[in-house]
Amino acid sequence: MKRAHHLDDATLTRFAAGDLDEAFAVVVASHIDMCEDCRARLRAAREVGGQLLEDTPQSALSDGALDRLLAKIDAGMAASDTAPAPIRTAVGDVPLPLSRYIGANLSDVPWRTIAPGIRKKVIPLKSTDSSLYMLQIGEGKEMPEHGHGGNEITLVLSGAYRDAMGVFGPGDVADLDEDVEHQPKVEPGAPCICLVATEHPTRFKGLIARLFQPIAGI
Amino acid sequence: MLLAVRVTQELETPSDDGAVHQSNLEAVALRQDRAAFAALFTHFGPRIKAMMLKAGADTAQAEDLVQDAMLAVWRKAGQYKAGRGTVAAWIFTIARNARIDKLRRMSSQPYEDVDELEISSDATGSDDQLIASEEAELVSKALDALPEDQRRIVELAYLADKPQSEIARELAIPLGTVKSRLRLAYQKLRQTLEELR
């Protein structure tokens, strides 16, 4: 399916290189699951890794390294597992990489109401300095205008919102630098469910917004 | 004589290497061919070790990671699809995932899920029309054509596993510059690939 808003080239390259931490990797992987264009772009970014591996000066292996590995294979640690893997895709409406954390259905997410019309689900991660969470925002609802303390990536899973950059529907991703400020408003028709990774807590502008932030915890 | 020289040169081009890797990997997948696996191990093992040393592994860790990655190559040989990229790129992602798990001590599951989506995806994009070996040659040329400052950053990101913030510190340039160079490098690489399509 064609998506309108894609990953930044730097983000895609960082994913191919393996540099993104878990929170960002989940959002990026989920977008790639929903976006054929970015799958193709990722393929090119992976070739760069392959070529750099080919070009890198070699470091000699210790004696017997191959024999040790063949012995492991013989010992059955790698029993004839060389057949193609069974095709596995997420069965519900949640992209496969995200389904590892919240299950396959958006309807099963245990939301917590944090403000009128705004519900949140934090996804706890062991090994990351960033935070990963989902938001469900009611139709027509406006978020306070905010900038970002660090990088932030938002993936729309269902519904849609609109801001200065256009309309973001299912599969669209807003891959924002820290200096971007935006004020998303949910489109009429249905609530908008998003998956968000942030480096630092988002900062809202203005007194009301700052009062709002501790409640919303966004 | 002239002909012989030409043939030798052709054998040394990356595309031919790619074809050899591909037939070796197929032999592992179809017949669990040990000799073919040994050839892959001899070629990629020392390169994976170099990659891990650059990423900060000590010698013992680097050797272990070579064992982990090449064991995964043996196990997953049947999942490789030529239309989705070169053997080198496929092995790079396997080594990268091992590096994330063991060196970064972080789950590589989101990364592996994307690899798996690739395997199960039957959609044939325009990318598939390019033979993997051709694509490898193009990427190689495009990488060589990058300005030194961009190529350096790409290498640090892919092989040395340096976070952007660390690259910025090491090269004493602002974080934004690291990002923009990475972006420029990727756009140039992609342009080269698209022009030839």
Beta-bridge partners for A65 = none
- Give A-chain residues touching B63 at CB under 8 angstroms: 61-62, 65
pLDDT class for B126, splitting at 50, 70, 90? very low
Give the pLDDT of residue B76: 93
Output Rg (C-alpha) for chain A, integer angstroms: 21
The pLDDT, as a whole number, for residue A123 is 95
Chain B residues closer than 8 Å to A54 by CB: 14, 17, 47, 88, 136, 140
Q: Which residues on chain A are in Cβ contact (under 8 Å) with B34?
A: 70
B39 closest CA partner among A81, A71, A70 = A70
Domains of chain B by residue range: 14-126, 146-197
Cβ-nearest to B34 among A65, A70, A85: A70
Range with the poorest average pLDDT among A83-87, A107-111, B5-9, B88-92: B5-9
Give the pairing of strands A173-176 and A152-158.
Answer: antiparallel
Q: How far does the CA of residue A158 sit from the closest CA of chain B (Å)?
A: 20
Tokens of B187: 């756009």
**Is the pLDDT assigned to residue B128 strictly greater than 50?**
no
Residue B6 is predicted with a pLDDT of: 41
| Predicted pLDDT of residue B117 | 78
Query: Which of A32, A40, A50 is closest, CB to CB, to B92?
Result: A50
Q: Give the pLDDT score at A109.
A: 94
CA dist., res. B15 & res. B20, Å (int): 9
Contacts of B154 in chain A (CB under 8 A): 13, 48, 52
Q: Is the pLDDT of residue B192 over 70?
A: yes
**A154-161: average pLDDT:** 95
Looking at this protein, which amino acid is placed at residue B46?
Answer: P
Q: Chain B contact for A13, CB < 8 A?
A: yes
Q: How many CB atoms lie within 10 A of CB B187?
A: 13
Q: Are A37 and A69 in contact (CB under 8 A)?
A: no
Angle of the B34-54 helix axis to the A36-55 helix axis, nearest 10: 90
Which residue among A14, A18, A78 sits closest to B74, beta carbon to beta carbon?
A: A78
CA distance B163 to A126: 19
- In single-letter form, the type of residue at position A19 comes to D
Name which of A56, A68, A78 is nearest B51 (Cβ-Cβ).
A56
Where is average pLDDT lowest: A23-37, A60-74, A189-203, B117-131? Answer: B117-131
Alpha carbons B5 and B109: distance in angstroms, whole number: 48
Whether residues A82 and B77 touch (CB distance < 8 A) is answered with yes
Of the candidates A157, A195, A200, which has an alpha carbon nearest to the alpha carbon of residue A27?
A195
Other CB atoms within 10 Å distance of the CB of residue B104: 18
Q: Which of B32, B93, B143 sits opposite A46 (nearest CB)?
A: B93
CB contact under 8 A, A14 and B123: no
Q: Residue B44: what residue type?
A: F
What residues of chain A, 36 to 75, have a C-beta less than 8 Å from chain B? 36, 39-62, 65-66, 68-70, 72-73
- Per-residue pLDDT at A208: 52
> Confidence class of residue B161 from pLDDT cuts 50, 70 and 90?
confident
Check CB contact under 8 Å for B45 and A87. Answer: no
Chain B positions touching A126 (Cβ under 8 A) are 107
The string of pLDDT tens digits covering residues B134-144 is: 777 788 888 88
DSSP result, B14-71: HHHHHHHHHHHHHHHHHH--HHHHHHHHHHHHHHHHHHHHHTT--HHHHHHHHHHHHH
- Considering only the beta carbons, identify the residue of B78, B111, B139 that sits closest to A83: B78
Residue B12 in this model has a pLDDT that exceeds 80: no
Angle at A98 between CA A96 and CA A104, to 5 degrees: 65
Q: How far is CA A58 from CA A28, B126, B174, in A?
A: 32, 34, 31
**Nearest CA distance, B8 vs chain A (angstrom):** 19
Query: Looking at residue B197, what is its pLDDT?
Result: 52
Res. B125: pLDDT tops 50:
no
Q: What percent of chain A has pLDDT over 90?
A: 50
User: What is the nearest CA distance from A116 to chain B, expressed in angstroms?
Assistant: 33
Q: Which domains does chain A have, with CATH numbers?
A: 1-218 (2.60.120.10)
pLDDT attached to residue A17: 93
**Fold observed for domain B14-126:** Rna Polymerase Sigma Factor; Chain: A (1.10.1740)
- Give the DSSP letter of residue A74: I
Mean pLDDT of B80-95: 91
Q: How is residue B65 written in tokens?
A: 């990671």
Q: Please give the DSSP secondary-structure letter assigned to residue A144.
A: P
- Predicted local confidence at residue A147, as pLDDT: 58
DSSP state of A76: I
Name the residue with tokens 């037939």: B23
- Kindly list the distances between the CA atom of residue B21 and the CA atoms of A44, B17, B27, B28, in Å, as whole numbers in the listed order: 19, 6, 10, 11
Q: What CATH architecture is B146-197?
A: Orthogonal Bundle (1.10)
- Write out pLDDT tens, residues A34-56: 998 888 888 888 989 999 999 99
Q: Which of A24-28, A178-182, B81-85 has maximum average pLDDT?
A: A24-28
Chain B nearest-CA residue for A42: B114
> Which residues of chain A from 116 to 145 reach within 8 Å of chain B, CB to CB?
126-128
- How far out from the chain centre does Cα A22 lie? 9
What residue type is assigned to position A119 of the chain?
Answer: R
CA separation for the pair A169, A161 (Å, rounded): 7
What is the separation, in whole angstroms, between the first and last Cα of chain B? 35
Element spanning A174, H or E: strand A173-176
